[in-house]
Amino acid sequence: MKRKLIASLSVFVTSVAFIDVSGYAATPTAGIPTLDPLPGKATCSIVNITNHVGKSAELCVTTGSFAHDLYEVRIDRSTVVKGIDDATTTGIASEYNGQSISLQCSPVLSAPDNITDAQIESVRFMNPSAKRDQLKQLFISINTTETGRRCTVRADLTELFSVDVHFR
């Protein structure tokens, strides 16, 4: 039973190790506002928009305690799009003044740096026959975490604004 469990875990972890997470990571960009949500409280980033959708827009995030975070787009103080963090990854949308308003938030992932030989060897039990590079990739995959989200709000296909949401 123990061997079967280790073999199953090894296959699972090895398959996870080779998932390319680069398509899901956004990197911080100068000029994009940041938002550091506070637990249990709506925290907003307000921007002036200069098009026919409205005068001002904001992205508000309410972090959940052991629950989903809530994302909300408001235009001229009216809630236009609202949904949980998981839904924003693929995008959520609604209509406002005859235009489609959408919100999409891409995960920002942070991988560990300065990985030591001891850290690499610490995962060898998961795949005893793996080469060092494979073990290093496995260690990185296991220890890569989501540290924020890059959220973009669009009116039809035109970008209104983006915000970098940082997790604590």
Confidence of residue 12 (pLDDT cuts 50, 70, 90): very low
Confidence of residue 30 (pLDDT cuts 50, 70, 90): low
d(CA 37, CA 16): 30
Q: What separation in angstroms does the CA of 88 have from each of 39, 127, 152? A: 19, 35, 10
> At residue 144, what are phi and psi to the nearest 5 degrees?
-85, 130
d(CA 168, CA 63): 10
Q: What's the whole-number mean pLDDT along residues 53-69?
A: 90
CB 86 within 8 A of CB 69: no
pTM for the full model? 0.75
CB 79 within 8 A of CB 64: no
